[in-house]
Structure 1
Amino acid sequence: MSKEAMFKELSDAVITCKKDAVTAAVEKARGEGIPPAEIIEKGLAAGMNEVGVLFERGKLFLPHVMMAAGAMEAGVKLLEADLPKDAASKKLGVIVNGTVEGDVHDIGKSIVSTMLQSAGFEVHDIGRDVPLQDFIDKAKETNANMIGMSALMTTTLPGQKEVIEMLKEQGMRDKVKIMVGGAPATQNWADKIGADCYAENASEAVARAKELLL
């Protein structure tokens, strides 16, 4: 079975929400020696991304999304032991991640949190529709090196800018890096509001976090 076919099997298993199929596909991919990060990114996360797209289009409903997320988590859990031991024992950094206030989109942000965790970061996912001050309070509480903010609607995008302004007012801007993402966000937007980086997807988020924190 080719790598591509295996990634498709992993992805399809997540889309159909079948935990047994996900764990079986993960075991098969492991047996073929595919690195755990690739299994997560190109298989499980790809399937979850597709679930997100179908949900946005009204083809799937929330219970399906939650079941798919549960199936994906079961697959990720199986791989935790395979992730590099130094990644498990040595934290690469502490990241607070959430979707800004007024925005209830969760899937992309959850995938980013999972991928960052798998890469060895300590991630505090504070959910969706998060009051802006909560990002800062959580960063203080956890001594975070980075705050990740997702916004999936143009109306909630300004929340990312506000958090940066609030950090400046509270004398914390130089203590944390800021990563922004979400459908309406762009590199230009990140530059305009003074964020440290923009990530288009989960694998890019991991790469940017490593660049900034290592």
Structure 2
Amino acid sequence: MDVCLKKIQDGIIDGNAELVKNSTEQALMQGIDADMIIRTALIPTMEKIGKEFKAGDIYIPDVLMSSRAMHASLYVLKPLLIETNQSKKKGIVIIGTVAGDLHDIGKNMVSMILQGDGYDVIDLGIDVPAASYISAILRYKPDILAMSALLTTTIGEFKNVIQAIIDEGLRDRVKIVVGGGPVTQDYADEIGANGYGKDLFEAIEVANKLLGNKEGYFNV
């Protein structure tokens, strides 16, 4: 394996964003294309991290650092991916944390890995009211709306957003995926969501299944 690709892998595992960014730039200068970097360095490394996370061998802080390091590579590659892989884009995802909730670590990780998996992601941030989700749906025409809530006091906002979407006649235009600490599959079913991800890797799997994308970079 090329030295630069190995450095990218090591940097992601160690959560060293600067090393990953520099090594990605070096790989491109050496003539290694963006697709090769993703397929050879990013994919297998994130698959390994995903398996370790599911096995309980590593924890959220470790995954967050690795995700940020991976994102440093994607930041360098993004202009090239937009230019050369536009036809390969899987879909558009709007993501946000619901009104009243200021947590964003999980949302940010899902956003990063969705981008790495070939989706265009519009991140609305935290404390997002129903009206903002409606505006974003009308503007961006997403395939998926992903919402996060980390508090038992804010998960009820999912219902408000979904009802607002129904009231606007937009429900059949977008798939809705929910997640967060207090959320369960039963609750997702109760509020009429199309999917539920209990962790960031499952969220990617759900998105791929909903849109018929059987192969994903980070499906594990």
Q: Residue 111 of structure 1: CA displacement?
A: 1.1
SS at match of 1:153: coil
Aligned-residue RMSD, C-alpha: 3.7
User: Which residue is equivalent to 1:205?
Assistant: 203
Q: Tell me, in whole angstroms, the C-alpha distance in 2 between the residues paired with 1:42 and 1:76.
A: 18
Q: TM-score, normalised by structure 1?
A: 0.72
Alpha-carbon spacing, 1:200–1:27, altered in 2? closer, same or farther (3 Å): farther
Report Cα offsets for 1:79-129 as digits up to 9, x if no partner: 65997x985533211110011111111111111111111111111011111
Q: Tell me, in whole angstroms, the C-alpha distance in 2 between the residues paired with 1:52 and 1:152.
A: 18
User: Which residue is equivalent to 1:158?
Assistant: 156
Q: Does 1:113 align with 2:111?
A: yes
Q: Does 1:13 align with 2:25?
A: no
Alpha-carbon spacing, 1:202–1:106, altered in 2? closer, same or farther (3 Å): same
Say if 2:143 and 2:173, in contact at 8 Å, map to a contact too. Answer: yes
Unpaired stretches in structure 1, ≥5 consecutive residues: 1-5, 54-64
Report Cα offsets for 1:55-82 as digits up to 9, x if no partner: xxxxxxxxxx8xx876553233356599
Q: What amino acid does structure 2 have at the position aligned with 1:150?
A: S
User: Which residue is equivalent to 1:38?
Assistant: 44
Say if 2:12 and 2:45, in contact at 8 Å, map to a contact too. Answer: no
Q: Tell me, in whole angstroms, the C-alpha distance in 1 between the residues paired with 2:173 and 2:89.
A: 18
Which residues of 2 match residues 88-107 of structure 1 at below 5 A?
88-107=86-105
Q: Residue 163 of structure 1: CA displacement?
A: 0.7
SS at match of 1:38: helix
The alignment covers a number of residue pairs equal to 193
Q: Tell me, in whole angstroms, the C-alpha distance in 2 between the residues paired with 1:133 and 1:41.
A: 36
Which residues of 2 match residues 178-189 of structure 1 at below 5 A?
178-189=176-187
Q: Tell me, in whole angstroms, the C-alpha distance in 2 between the residues paired with 1:208 and 1:38.
A: 20
Alpha-carbon spacing, 1:202–1:186, altered in 2? closer, same or farther (3 Å): same
Say if 2:94 and 2:122, in contact at 8 Å, map to a contact too. Answer: yes
Say if 1:99 and 1:150, in contact at 8 Å, map to a contact too. Answer: yes
Q: What amino acid does structure 1 have at the position aligned with 2:45?
A: I
Q: Tell me, in whole angstroms, the C-alpha distance in 2 between the residues paired with 1:183 and 1:52.
A: 16
Q: Tell me, in whole angstroms, the C-alpha distance in 1 between the residues paired with 2:25 and 2:62.
A: 18
SS at match of 1:198: strand
Q: Does 1:50 align with 2:49?
A: no
Say if 2:94 and 2:145, in contact at 8 Å, map to a contact too. Answer: yes
Q: TM-score, normalised by structure 2?
A: 0.70
Say if 1:145 and 1:175, in contact at 8 Å, map to a contact too. Answer: yes
Say if 2:17 and 2:68, in contact at 8 Å, map to a contact too. Answer: no
Report Cα offsets for 1:124-179 as digits up to 9, x if no partner: 01111111211121011001111000001111101111111111111111111100
Alpha-carbon spacing, 1:138–1:23, altered in 2? closer, same or farther (3 Å): same
SS at match of 2:169: coil
Q: Tell me, in whole angstroms, the C-alpha distance in 2 between the residues paired with 1:147 and 1:122.
A: 12
Say if 2:11 and 2:17, in contact at 8 Å, map to a contact too. Answer: no
Unpaired stretches in structure 2, ≥5 consecutive residues: 1-6, 28-35, 213-220
